């Protein structure tokens, strides 16, 4: 009888233990529900918007309570300043969030970005970051007030505290047991691969120089789905600079642009946008690229508001193709060897115009560098802006070689040259309103399926006007355009070939 009772006791103990373990693991695997918000996704980043949604956060290690919700907001120095929400979402591996049921920032000394106070809080319950508040701890808490509170609550308050402490201790024992078992089964990580993007970026101090930290944003100039561009000032730079701000999810593109600009000769060429450096902004958790500020903006923006004479079209086309040829060529110099580069997102929005209307190429977030010892690989897919995608990219039938990547750029270059020709004031007929390539066929926001049907199946191209043949320069340019966007990739001419053809007419036609 005694032996049976002892066995049953052991069974009950193990059943309770298994039940607790299963409950903890099950709760962790379900995931935490948080509210998500990113101010950089707003149509106008400097103004608040209501673009919130719910997300489910999960941890890679279900045996530990490592998933939490967070909120980051800013306010001015005055007590009644308006609060501006910056970010909401999931946070991983933050021990400070354990046991927090509501999102409260109690930090008294706030980090500052210019004149703004930045606040941060995190918590562990579902949608606990939906509401957030700053309740700073007083710098010198009054002792008498604490005594009054204890006396007022009396024995009942102490009883509740005892229950909470006991419950917390039991929970800690269970969690410690599970963690101990987990550590015995799994080796400790030896790298930061499990860190979140936020932690990886903020831990990497080498990305920002002291000079680049003294950049002040002045005015937003453009906003897109991948980030925004600001007009700014920088210490030590007499002219305006441009700041391209990307969210953390674009870390790969941010690093790739830095790699392209670091190649030999890249920062010496006037055919490429001038580059000053990159930095991270730990307060807003954003990625910055600081470059030359171009007053005319992009070729796309300029053509929408201006007609161009033939001499202006020639200057833009020549310098643009010279820039693309510079990118595509492998060049040896005393500074080293610049490898060939494919842009992979060439379009009129990524060609900028200096005050004298010479063009320079920008935005290398999708570029590919052809290092002599680096394999091209096969994981590239349909990359770029769909309106400018070559037929072989839309069709998914690309063999990834250096020549093929450059022919894809040349197809897009032909479309940009067509945009230029369509805005030339020297054609015989009237100059129409600016239109995007294929806008006459697929409208302003075509789907991928519409572009495949138009470009691959029907083999359509933007219309080359007959009256362009009456102008010697536009006639040469029209022929170059047709050979640039040929359906057969191997039949497309190179950027250097277009430069030679345009040079042949530059001294004969005004």
Instruction: Please give the chain's pLDDT, 510 residues, in tens.
Output: 444 444 444 444 444 443 344 344 444 445 788 998 888 778 776 666 777 888 888 765 555 557 888 888 888 777 677 788 888 888 877 777 888 888 988 876 554 444 677 788 889 888 898 888 888 876 544 445 444 444 444 545 566 677 777 777 788 778 777 765 654 443 333 333 444 555 455 445 444 544 566 888 999 988 876 789 999 999 888 899 999 999 888 899 999 999 999 999 998 899 999 999 998 876 677 899 999 999 999 999 999 999 999 999 999 999 999 999 999 999 998 989 999 999 999 999 999 999 999 999 999 999 999 998 777 765 555 578 999 999 999 988 767 788 999 999 999 999 999 999 999 998 888 898 999 999 999 999 999 999 999 999 999 999 999 999 999 999 999 999 999 999 999 999 999 999 999 998 876 665
**What does the alpha-carbon distance between residue 403 and residue 452 come to, in Å, rounded to a whole number?**
22
Architecture of domain 299-506: Orthogonal Bundle (1.10)
CB of 498 within 8 A of CB of 414? no
CATH superfamily name and code, 198-292: Phosphorylase Kinase; domain 1 (3.30.200.20)
**What does the alpha-carbon distance between residue 227 and residue 286 come to, in Å, rounded to a whole number?**
10
Boundaries of CATH 1.10.510.10 in the chain? Answer: 299-506
Cβ within 8 Å of residue 197, ≥6 positions away? 248, 249, 251
Boundaries of CATH 2.10.60.10 in the chain? Answer: 15-134
Query: Which candidate in 105, 345, 363, 409 is catalytic?
Result: 345
Q: What is the CA radius of gyration of the chain?
A: 30
What CATH topology corresponds to 15-134?
CD59 (2.10.60)
**Residue corresponding to tokens 């039938």:** 397
Strands 111-113 and 103-105: unpaired
Burial profile 160-190: b = 16 or more Cβ within 10 angstroms, e = fewer: eeeeeeeeeeeeeeeeeebeeeeeeeeeeee
Boundaries of CATH 3.30.200.20 in the chain? Answer: 198-292
Reply yes or no on whether 356 is catalytic: no
pLDDT at 245: 93
Is the overall model pTM greater than 0.85, yes or no?
A: no
- Show the DSSP H helices in 367-456 as ranges: 391-394, 402-422, 439-442, 448-451
Phi, psi of 166 (to 5 degrees): -65, -45
Residue 164, both tokens: 């909470």
CB of 231 within 8 A of CB of 218? yes
pLDDT at 97: 80
């Amino acid at each position: 009888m005694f032996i049976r009772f002892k066995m049953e006791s052991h069974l009950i103990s193990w059943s309770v233990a298994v039940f607790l373990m299963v409950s903890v693991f099950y709760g962790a695997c379900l995931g935490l529900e948080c509210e998500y918000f990113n101010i950089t996704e707003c149509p106008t980043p400097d103004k608040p918007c209501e673009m919130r949604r719910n997300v489910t956060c999960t941890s890679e290690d279900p045996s530990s309570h490592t998933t939490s919700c967070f909120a980051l907001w800013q306010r001015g120095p005055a007590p009644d300043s308006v609060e501006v929400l910056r970010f909401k979402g999931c946070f991983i591996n933050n021990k400070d969030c354990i046991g927090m049921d509501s999102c409260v920032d109690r930090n008294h000394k706030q980090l500052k970005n210019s004149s703004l106070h930045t606040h941060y809080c995190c918590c562990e319950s579902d949608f606990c970051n939906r509401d957030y508040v700053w309740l700073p701890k007083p710098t010198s808490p009054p002792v008498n007030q604490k005594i009054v509170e204890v006396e007022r609550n009396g024995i009942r308050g102490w009883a509740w505290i005892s229950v909470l402490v006991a419950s917390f201790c039991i929970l800690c024992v269970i969690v410690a047991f599970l963690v101990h078992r987990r550590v015995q089964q799994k080796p400790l990580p030896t790298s930061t691969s499990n860190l979140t993007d936020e932690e990886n970026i903020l831990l990497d101090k080498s990305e920002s120089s002291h000079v680049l930290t003294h950049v002040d944003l002045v005015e937003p100039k453009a906003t897109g789905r991948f980030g925004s561009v600001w007009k700014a000032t920088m210490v030590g730079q007499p002219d305006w600079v441009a700041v391209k701000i990307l969210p953390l999810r674009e870390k790969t593109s941010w690093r790739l642009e830095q790699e392209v600009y670091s190649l030999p000769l890249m920062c010496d060429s006037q055919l490429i946008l001038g580059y000053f450096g990159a930095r991270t902004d730990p307060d807003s958790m954003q990625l910055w690229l600081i470059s030359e500020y171009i007053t005319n903006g992009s070729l796309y923006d300029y053509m929408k508001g201006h007609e161009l004479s033939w001499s202006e079209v020639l200057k833009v086309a020549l310098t643009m193709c010279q820039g693309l040829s510079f990118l595509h060529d492998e060049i040896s110099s005393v500074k080293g060897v610049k490898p060939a580069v494919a842009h992979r997102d060439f379009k009129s929005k990524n060609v900028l115009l200096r005050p004298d209307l010479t063009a320079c190429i920008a935005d290398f977030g999708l570029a590919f560098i052809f290092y002599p010892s680096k394999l091209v690989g096969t994981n590239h897919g349909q990359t770029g802006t769909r309106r400018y995608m070559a037929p072989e990219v839309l069709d998914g039938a690309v063999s990834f070689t250096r020549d093929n990547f450059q022919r894809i750029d040349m197809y897009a270059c032909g479309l940009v040259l067509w945009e230029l020709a369509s805005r030339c004031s020297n054609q015989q007929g009237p100059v129409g309103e600016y239109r995007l390539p294929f806008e006459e066929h697929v409208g302003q926001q075509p789907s991928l399926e519409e572009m495949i049907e138009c470009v691959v199946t029907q083999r359509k191209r933007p219309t080359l006007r007959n009256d362009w043949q009456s102008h010697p320069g536009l006639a040469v340019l029209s022929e170059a355009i047709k050979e640039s966007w040929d359906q057969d990739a191997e039949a497309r001419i190179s950027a250097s070939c277009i430069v030679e053809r345009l040079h042949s007419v530059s001294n004969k036609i005004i």
